Amino acid sequence: MAQRIVCTMMVRILLLGSVMALDVLGKPKFPDEEKNPSFWNMWAQRSLKQALQLQELNKNVAKNIILFLGDGMGIPTVTAARILKGQLSGQSGEEFQMEMDKFPYVALSKTYNTDAQVPDSAGTATAYLCGVKANEGTLGLSAAAVRSQCNTTQGNEVTSILKWAKDAGKSVGIVTTTRINHATPSAAYAHCADRDWFSDNEMPPEAVDAGCKDIARQLFENIPEIDVIMGGGRKYMFPMDTPDVEYPTEKQHFGTRKDGRNLVREWKERMKEKRAHYVWNKKELLSLNPSKADYILGLFEPSDLPYNLERNKETDPSLTEMVDVALKILKKNPNGFFLLVEGGRIDHGHHDGKAKQALHETVEMDRAIGRAGLLTSTHETLTVVTADHSHVFNFGGYTRRGNNIFGLAPMMSDIDQKPFTSILYGNGPGFKLIDGLRENVSTVDYQQNNYQAQSAVPLRFETHGGEDVAVFSKGPMAHLLHGVQEQNYIPHVMAYAACVGQNHEHCGSSSSSAVSPRPSPATTAISTLAAALTLAWLHC
């Protein structure tokens, strides 16, 4: 017993020492000016003045729409990623602003599927892209469709805002860090009774015989000329046992198609009279001249792209790099564009219990949001950032200001007298017992990229969470995304703002009277300078 008390005291001293060390290294728990009430009063007054300016609502018709979808990016993930991004820039993190934080309007989205309290990514994607709630596991189909039952497909198809925009003459694009025929991007173009029917190899024979199409086929057949397609999923496009161009000796990356079709070759043949390019690595992507490219098919991995922390920066493009090229191609269309961008591996990091991977994926998506903001104007571009669902991820433990987001809580369990990380999961693969007792995390490297945070319930894969997720918006009609809304409301707002789909009554000659004037260059310059001075003052 005495030995256990001594051990406990030593661990407490070490924890306290680590906090003190941060102070010694010049990283105080909070800046001295925060002790002065005038600091907080001035900050609040600046925020108030910015809020009062929002009374002049942007009622322009949205020429462009960008939807950023953080797969699994629940509110705790946003908060933790904010702290991480701040700490990566040398700050304590809590006071930092993500790019999405700067959006003037925030709503909550209810994510349940028609048959699930805690949803999956296919049913939710159908909601925020097609405008109708759907069953889990189904893509681009109403709730009358039953998962895995091919014969419930026909007659229950619903179309997405990507198709509505294409039909209205806009350019359209999909950029994702997952395979391009994964759940989120697939709902933009596919009608499939099962989200796992990536190619005909994954389909039951009776579904193939009944005429149901795999998702990879639908990518090229349902909306034949999607202007920009970037992500992974190469192996689903090639005949079975075709060696992969990047991994020619690794069988798990070989082509999967049983029908013998080479969908990439078919695409290239169909697009040969157009300025269309197929690329499969970063060098090819970045060597393109966007002014001379109207269509691009970029398949950068056989399956999903690697986590950003593990990305080969010579061969694998980042999400920000893909978004940059995509926008430069799409924005050439005088009718505007719709772009879906998915930070898809946030979800995978959480499922694996690897919080560090998930949060760095979120930070990278936020960088892409920032890049998109530089390439577009809020005068004519509606940008929406949201998530399909949350995860059973959280952080707590009464950590002090500036605590490493991947660090330990400054206390120990008063039950087993062991330390714990601030980040924890409700369930997942991080549940570990040693001799029947909870693992002592001080004996492992909990800062490593692939550390699996401790969980309360053992599961091979951590599960989604069921709470509402945030919807951030800026640009024309962004104020319509307010309050607590059903998830399927989102594409209806985007369509209304852009005058695509079913809402056109406001898009005639009367719409011109609702369009607020474009700010003058001088006004824009002054606003930009004021924002820069404010940011500098806050972080000096």
Radius of gyration of the chain (CA): 25
Q: End of a domain among 458, 478, 500?
A: 458
Tell me: the pLDDT tens digits for 176-231? 999 999 999 999 999 999 999 999 999 999 999 999 999 999 999 999 999 999 99
pTM of the full predicted structure?
0.88
Examine the domain organization and report whether 44 and 108 are in the same domain: no
Examine the domain organization and report whether 268 and 309 are in the same domain: yes
Q: What 3-state DSSP class applies to 415?
A: coil
What average pLDDT does this structure show over 279-296? Answer: 97
Examine the domain organization and report whether 178 and 295 are in the same domain: yes
Tell me: the pLDDT tens digits for 427-459? 999 999 999 999 999 999 999 999 999 999 999
Angle, to 10 degrees, between the axis of helix 489-498 and the axis of helix 121-130? 30
Examine the domain organization and report whether 142 and 282 are in the same domain: yes
SS3 of 211-253: CCCCHHHHHHHCCCCCCEEEEECHHHHCECCCCCCCCCCCHHH
| Lowest pLDDT segment from 32-46, 485-499, 508-522 | 508-522
Q: With beta carbons less than 8 A apart as the criterion, state whether 68 and 57 touch.
A: no
In the numeric block, the tokens 């809590």 are attached to 94
Tell me what pLDDT residue 17 has.
39
| Residue 58, in any domain of the structure | no
Is residue 388 marked as binding?
Answer: yes
Examine the domain organization and report whether 322 and 452 are in the same domain: no
In the numeric block, the tokens 């001293």 are attached to 13
Examine the domain organization and report whether 387 and 404 are in the same domain: no
Is residue 23 marked as binding?
Answer: no
Q: End of a domain among 432, 458, 484?
A: 458
Examine the domain organization and report whether 330 and 441 are in the same domain: no
Structure tokens at 83: 């702290």
Confidence of residue 55 (pLDDT cuts 50, 70, 90): low
Tell me what pLDDT residue 46 has.
86
Examine the domain organization and report whether 453 and 509 are in the same domain: no
What average pLDDT does this structure show over 107-116? Answer: 97
- 196: domain CATH number? 3.40.720.10
Is residue 184 marked as binding?
Answer: yes
Examine the domain organization and report whether 221 and 345 are in the same domain: yes
Is residue 342 marked as binding?
Answer: yes
Q: What percent of the chain has pLDDT over 90?
A: 82
Please give the residue range of the domain that contains residue 417: 2-53+395-458
Is residue 253 marked as binding?
Answer: no
With residue 80 as reference, give the H or E element that holds it. Answer: helix 75-88
Is residue 120 marked as binding?
Answer: no
The residues carrying an active-site annotation are 121
| Residue 59, in any domain of the structure | no
Domain tally for the chain? 2
Is residue 347 marked as binding?
Answer: yes
Burial class (CB in 10 A: 0-12, 13-18, 19+), 418: middle
Tell me what pLDDT residue 453 has.
98
Is residue 200 marked as binding?
Answer: no
d(CA 538, CA 193): 51
